Amino acid sequence: MEANSKAPAPFVLPVIFWIIGIILAKIIQINILFLLILASGLLILGVFCKKIRLILLIILFLVLGMLRFSIVKKESSPLALILQENEHLQQEICFTVTNVFSVEEMRYAVELDSLAGFPLQDNIILSCSEKILPGKSYCLLAEIYPLVRDPILDIYPNRYSAIGYQLGKAKSIDAKDVRDYLGRLRYKLLSSLEIKLGDQADWAKALLFGESGLKQEYINQLTEAGIIHLVVVSGMHIWLIYMIIVSFFRIFFRRELAEFLFLPSILLYASLNNWAPSVTRSIIMISIVILARWLQSPVSGAQTMALSIFIITLLSPMQLFNIGLQLSYISILVIFYGLPHFRLFAQNKILNNSVYKMLENIKEGILLSTLISIAITPFTLYYFGTASLNGIIGNIIGIPLMSIMLPLSMLVLISPQGWYITKLFVLCYKALNSLWISWIQFCHTLPFSLSANYLSLYQALALAIVILWCFLLIRSKYKTALKTLIPASLLVMGFMLIPNINKQDASIYVFNCGMGDCTLIRFQDGKTMLIDTGGGKNFGTPEAFVNEVDYQQESWLSKNLLPWLGKKGINRIDYLILTHLHNDHCGGLITLLNHKKIGHIFVSDESVEQDFWNYAQKQKYFGSAKIHTINDTCSFFIDKARLKFLHPDKNYLPHNENNASLVCRLDTKKESILFTGDIESEAEFYLVDNYAKELKANYLKIPHHGSRSSSSTEFLEAVSPQEVWITAPRKNIYRFPHPDTMQRIQKQQAKILLTGNGTIRKIGIPAKE
Amino acid sequence: MEGGFLKQLKKLWNNFLELIVPPACLVCGNRIEDRTQVICEFCEAKLSLIGEGTCPVCGSENKELPCEVCLEGQFEFDSARSIFRYIGPIRELIHILKYEGYTYPAGYFALPIAELIESEPSLKNHDYICAVPLHRVRKRERGYNQTDLIAYAVSKLICMPYLNPVTRRINTFSQTLLSKEHRIANLSGAFTVKHKDQVTGKKIILIDDVFTTGSTLNEIAKTLRAAGAKKISTITVARA
């Protein structure tokens, strides 16, 4: 069932304008009333003016797209509105569990039905202290905090508006909704798979229900191998399921009836998968192709694509910015319109000989996976910082293997527990599974992959244009390619030359990095300085011994900061200051050294003697970075600003590592900022005694996350800041910042900012002239 | 008024369907007005009809009479007529009908066949129309028998009965890949007459999609003759 590429596609143009409208509405805010008037005006004009009706219709779609998105913008979550006025709520909530995030941490996605007895619909995350079942409804007393999205760091949209913590005992109440039954059914099916397959059930769960319970290790390997698409429920799965179900039904019925029966079963499957965008997309597309078959007309791929994206964005325009949806449409575009017109063998040879036909199909498959992997690189580099061509090889075995594993998992799912046939299926599954795992392990060692190379938006756009132009060549549209060569290359040059930094970008960011410290300073000339690198794997336990392997595990830096830096186009850290080598300050160091170029590293003479430092030096992580060991007060000049190290000086003898933290002051013409690491009162007193005049600063990063043992009144008085920054997350186990500290700071009448409320950004570093 | 409202609703529904799946030419994908049109004007202009002056027995276009084909191997049927040459859009239409699940071309082919039967004196006064049968396994695979569809549509158009006395016993290989000798060997004994009383003493029109060497039609004609058919005329949609 192939979509005819030559058939008419009247929907394409209006839908393109509809999408442009949605994107426009996202960028600029437009009054809904104005749009409504404009739309009705266009409609009336269209009725009377016959000549320009088509143009009017297309503009109407643009306006309607803007309107659709603007309406969604207005629908902000009711719970978020309540939480704007209160810092947190402690109320009884009734809710239905929709999904399990993590069984170990007992975190669930729930749909709120009522708050304190009042009906209120919203999606929140619930962290429980007892096990609750998906699909069931409960009532319990909970503490609800707003799920603040960090306005600077968070890139991906979030559907959840708040996070709740269970306080009282959960009471189960009866389900009323159909969706609840679906949730329960999903849970039942998943647990039946778990019983039958044991610890290998993860793959079947991912294949059949898109359950993301795979081990992180496997996910990383799959990403590097470029075959992660095989284990998430995608359009390909729906096509496979279509083949299986329709061939099965056709044993009993004629084709039309089989296709008719297929539709409800695939809808049930989509609802069990929580309507993942790629699933919805392929269901709509298959339905249109089936409809066309019934109507005896060929239908073009462009028409089905346009219709499906129209329906999806009509229901929820936010989906347009979903990365899953974008990747799904890019792949389908390549499948329909990206293949080159060339054959290995002559047409009649292919028709008459099945060996030639098979070879031709294999060539087509390999070509397709190559082209798709290339086409999606701008997207994956922009969103995830990864790109992999290993998938071309991975797909050769991966796709056939998955097309056996998928029906097999289905058979395991439906065959009853304890029968011999079930045991046979399970045995087959396990055999294939071990093959699959060894295949992943082979593929991820292949060398054609990039990781943590985030692109900025402009770079991604430039790359996309280059790839689009190459596709013109692949489709042998040489004339168009020649015509567009100059504009395309100008556009690419333009995107590449857009400067990474303008004056507004020069600022200081104190990142919301959980229990840890990380501050970035961007100077006007584009130089960057990073003070500390945030927490490592076991963050929150800074004193615990952390072994070398844990340092390479994922950290806050690799998850959040690298994507952000990539998007900002920062590829190089010119100055890196490591105040001390506790895990909450240098947790991301190894990752940073692996992925970014570092110019200079400033480190105290105490730190250099530590095991971790020696280990890093022995492994040659530092590369070409110049290491400056600070053993006394000294100054550096960076872009007309002065960086002065005040502590520890050569006479100071610390009695613990915190007190040996580097303390430095950044001076500009008008302002000065004091960074204090984790010093405690002992070092503070030493500083007040010896450098009282040097401490004076407008801004102060409060030492040691606002612990009680730091920020003594004398020290604060010596600094006398107008604004202080505290690096502590919400609801941390240390209860930082301590109330005593807060009291002392409040006495100084300084403005207090907490990273737990979102990354602090101070715009502009006025340079010394 | 009720009927009028329903009619309006149906028209609206049809317009809606046309917006989603616009009617298009099955061959080139150009837009057409109505789905029953099947192919667009441009493709229709490319069709080539087989005109007058063909061999009365095998329908070959060779001008020399008696024609070589008929001399070489004696055909069992009395006459063979074809509508189109097996080139261009017709080739694609027949392929679409046979392998891609579109059945509208059957109705499209039926029209000229019906016209031919009405206009040719030698094709008049036949008892019924029958089609080249498909093996039941192949029919289940495909869902329908394309010659069946054509023959049925023709019988409706000219009000002639439609019967199918012949069945295919053996699921033979596809004829498309074989040479003439192999075709004949492949087909020998493939057909049987199911209802002998329907054949004995009857004049039959046999319909098929493509005439290449005539071996399929010849084999069926042989079977029908053996069962006592009085006259067998064959009509094919296209001739290679």
CATH of the domain at B190: 3.40.50.2020
Question: Which residue type, as a one-letter code, is found at position B171?
Answer: N
Distance from CA of A337 to the nearest CA of B (A): 16
Closest CA to A554 of A514, A521, A581: A514
- List, for residues A381-397, the tens digit of each pLDDT value: 888 888 888 888 888 88
Phi, psi of B157 (to 5 degrees): -70, -40
Give the least confident one: A73-82, A170-179, A238-247, A497-506.
Answer: A497-506
How many distinct structural domains can be found in chain B?
1
Summarize the confidence of residues A552-563 as an average pLDDT: 75
Nearest CB among A8, A295, A299 relative to B31 is that of: A8
CB contact under 8 A, B24 and A7: yes
**Which residues of B are less than 8 Å from A299 in CB distance?**
21, 24
Confidence bin at A542 (pLDDT 50/70/90): very low
**Which residues of B are less than 8 Å from A307 in CB distance?**
20
- List, for residues A52-70, the tens digit of each pLDDT value: 888 898 999 999 999 988 8
CB pairs under 8 A between A and B: 53
CB A748 within 8 A of CB A721: yes
- Measured distance CA(A697)–CA(A673) in Å, rounded: 5
Residue in A13, A295, A354 to test binding to B, most B beta-carbons within 10 Å: A295
Closest CA to B188 of B140, B137, B152, B223: B223
Tokens representing A269 are 């499957």
More confident residue, A456 or A700: A700
CB contact under 8 A, B19 and A11: yes
CB contact under 8 A, B35 and A295: yes
The A-side interface with B (CB below 8 A) comprises 4-8, 10-11, 254-255, 288, 291-293, 295-300, 303, 307, 352
Summarize the confidence of residues A309-338 as an average pLDDT: 87
Query: What count of other Cβ atoms lies within 10 Å of the Cβ of residue A385?
Result: 20
Strand pairing category for A626-630 and A634-638:
unpaired
Distance from CA of A380 to the nearest CA of B (A): 33
CB A204 within 8 A of CB A197: yes
Q: Residue B136 domain-assigned?
A: yes
Summarize the confidence of residues A124-149 as an average pLDDT: 80
- Confidence at residue A466, expressed as pLDDT on a 0 to 100 scale: 94
Does pLDDT of A84 surpass 80?
Answer: no
B17 inside 8 A of chain A by CB: yes
Q: DSSP secondary structure string, A1-27?
A: ----TTS--TTHHHHHHHHHHHHHHHH
- Confidence at residue B149, expressed as pLDDT on a 0 to 100 scale: 92
Question: Which residue type, as a one-letter code, is found at position B61?
Answer: E
Sign of CA pseudo-dihedral B36, B40, B43, B46:
positive
B13 inside 8 A of chain A by CB: no
Sign of CA pseudo-dihedral A228, A234, A237, A243:
negative
Write out the H or E segment, with its range, that includes residue A114: strand A107-115
- Measured distance CA(A173)–CA(A136) in Å, rounded: 8
Q: What is the pTM of this model?
A: 0.79
Summarize the confidence of residues A30-39 as an average pLDDT: 88
Phi, psi of B230 (to 5 degrees): -85, -45
Does pLDDT of A546 surpass 50?
Answer: no
CB B157 within 8 A of CB B149: no
Q: Residue B9 domain-assigned?
A: no
If contacts are CB pairs under 8 Å, which of residues 172-211 in chain B contact chain A? 176-177
Strand pairing category for B231-239 and B79-85:
parallel
Does pLDDT of A552 surpass 60?
Answer: no
What is the C-alpha radius of gyration for chain B, rounded to an integer number of angstroms? 19
- Confidence at residue A179, expressed as pLDDT on a 0 to 100 scale: 64
Closest CA to A598 of A580, A618, A616: A616
Reported ipTM: the value is: 0.83
- Confidence at residue A539, expressed as pLDDT on a 0 to 100 scale: 46
- Confidence at residue A462, expressed as pLDDT on a 0 to 100 scale: 92
Nearest CA in chain A to B32: A8
Q: Residue B20 domain-assigned?
A: no
Confidence bin at A543 (pLDDT 50/70/90): very low
- Measured distance CA(A485)–CA(A493) in Å, rounded: 12
Distance from CA of B199 to the nearest CA of A (A): 31
- Three-point CA angle A207, A260, B154, nearest 5°: 135
Summarize the confidence of residues A22-28 as an average pLDDT: 89
Q: Residue B59 domain-assigned?
A: yes
- Measured distance CA(A626)–CA(A622) in Å, rounded: 8
Query: What count of other Cβ atoms lies within 10 Å of the Cβ of residue A11?
Result: 23
Distance from CA of B23 to the nearest CA of A (A): 6
Confidence bin at A220 (pLDDT 50/70/90): confident
- Measured distance CA(A474)–CA(A369) in Å, rounded: 14
- Measured distance CA(A677)–CA(A683) in Å, rounded: 11
Tokens representing A512 are 């919301």
- List, for residues B188-219, the tens digit of each pLDDT value: 788 888 888 888 888 999 999 888 888 888 88
Does pLDDT of B179 surpass 90?
Answer: no
Question: Which residue type, as a one-letter code, is found at position A413?
Answer: L
- Confidence at residue A541, expressed as pLDDT on a 0 to 100 scale: 43
Q: Residue B16 domain-assigned?
A: no
Nearest CB among A255, A292, A352 relative to B21 is that of: A292
Tokens representing A14 are 């209006």
Residue in A297, A354, A357 to test binding to B, most B beta-carbons within 10 Å: A297
CB A606 within 8 A of CB A654: yes
Distances (CA, A) of A304 to B35, B100, B192: 19, 19, 46
- Measured distance CA(B73)–CA(A522) in Å, rounded: 93
Phi, psi of B130 (to 5 degrees): -135, 165
- Measured distance CA(B115)–CA(A198) in Å, rounded: 70
CB contact under 8 A, B102 and A10: no
Confidence bin at A309 (pLDDT 50/70/90): very high
Phi, psi of B19 (to 5 degrees): -70, -40
Does pLDDT of A435 surpass 90?
Answer: yes
CB A432 within 8 A of CB A207: no
Confidence bin at A769 (pLDDT 50/70/90): very low
- Confidence at residue A4, expressed as pLDDT on a 0 to 100 scale: 52
Summarize the confidence of residues A641-665 as an average pLDDT: 87
Nearest CA in chain B to A252: B140
- Measured distance CA(B82)–CA(B86) in Å, rounded: 10
Tokens representing A719 are 């600094």
DSSP A89: E
Q: Residue B30 domain-assigned?
A: no
B71 inside 8 A of chain A by CB: no
Q: Which of left, alpha, beta for A627 (phi over 0: left; psi -120 to 50: alpha)? A: beta
- Confidence at residue A385, expressed as pLDDT on a 0 to 100 scale: 80
Nearest CA in chain A to B22: A8
B1 inside 8 A of chain A by CB: no
Query: What count of other Cβ atoms lies within 10 Å of the Cβ of residue A350?
Result: 18
Q: Considering chain A, what percentage of its residues have pLDDT values greater than 70?
A: 91
- Confidence at residue A575, expressed as pLDDT on a 0 to 100 scale: 92
Domain that includes residue B123, residue range? 53-239
Confidence bin at A3 (pLDDT 50/70/90): very low
Write out the H or E segment, with its range, that includes residue B66: none
CB contact under 8 A, B101 and A288: no
- Measured distance CA(A540)–CA(A675) in Å, rounded: 21
Does pLDDT of A16 surpass 60?
Answer: yes
Question: At a CB cut-off of 8 Å and minimum separation 6, what does A609 contact?
Answer: none
Distances (CA, A) of A709 to A531, A662, A736, A737: 22, 17, 11, 11
Q: Residue B124 domain-assigned?
A: yes
CB A566 within 8 A of CB A385: yes
- Confidence at residue A540, expressed as pLDDT on a 0 to 100 scale: 42
CB contact under 8 A, B29 and A307: no
**Which residues of A are less than 8 Å from B143 in CB distance?**
254-255
Tokens representing A712 are 């003594």
CB A711 within 8 A of CB A744: yes
- Confidence at residue A52, expressed as pLDDT on a 0 to 100 scale: 85
End-to-end CA distance of chain B: 54
CB B177 within 8 A of CB B161: no
B46 inside 8 A of chain A by CB: no
Sign of CA pseudo-dihedral A602, A605, A608, A612:
negative
Biggest CA pair distance of chain B? 68
B35 inside 8 A of chain A by CB: yes
Closest CA to A372 of A401, A425, A329: A329
Cβ burial, residue A48 (10 Å; 0-12/13-18/19+): exposed
CB B130 within 8 A of CB B165: yes
Question: At a CB cut-off of 8 Å and minimum separation 6, what does A759 contact?
Answer: A150, A151, A152, A153, A509, A510, A511, A512
CB contact under 8 A, B28 and A292: no
Does pLDDT of A174 surpass 90?
Answer: no
CB contact under 8 A, A6 and B28: yes
CB contact under 8 A, B22 and A7: yes
Confidence bin at B71 (pLDDT 50/70/90): low
Phi, psi of A17 (to 5 degrees): -70, -35
Closest CA to A578 of A617, A604, A548, A539: A604
Summarize the confidence of residues B52-79 as an average pLDDT: 72
- Measured distance CA(A110)–CA(A160) in Å, rounded: 9
- Measured distance CA(A127)–CA(A167) in Å, rounded: 10
Helix H, strand E, coil C: the string for A668-697 is CCCCEEEECCCCCHHHHHHHHHHHCCCCCC
B29 inside 8 A of chain A by CB: yes
B66 inside 8 A of chain A by CB: no
Q: Residue B5 domain-assigned?
A: no
- Measured distance CA(A259)–CA(A764) in Å, rounded: 63
Strands (E) across A343-455 are located at 387-388, 449-450
Nearest CA in chain B to A255: B143
Question: At a CB cut-off of 8 Å and minimum separation 6, what does B10 contact?
Answer: none
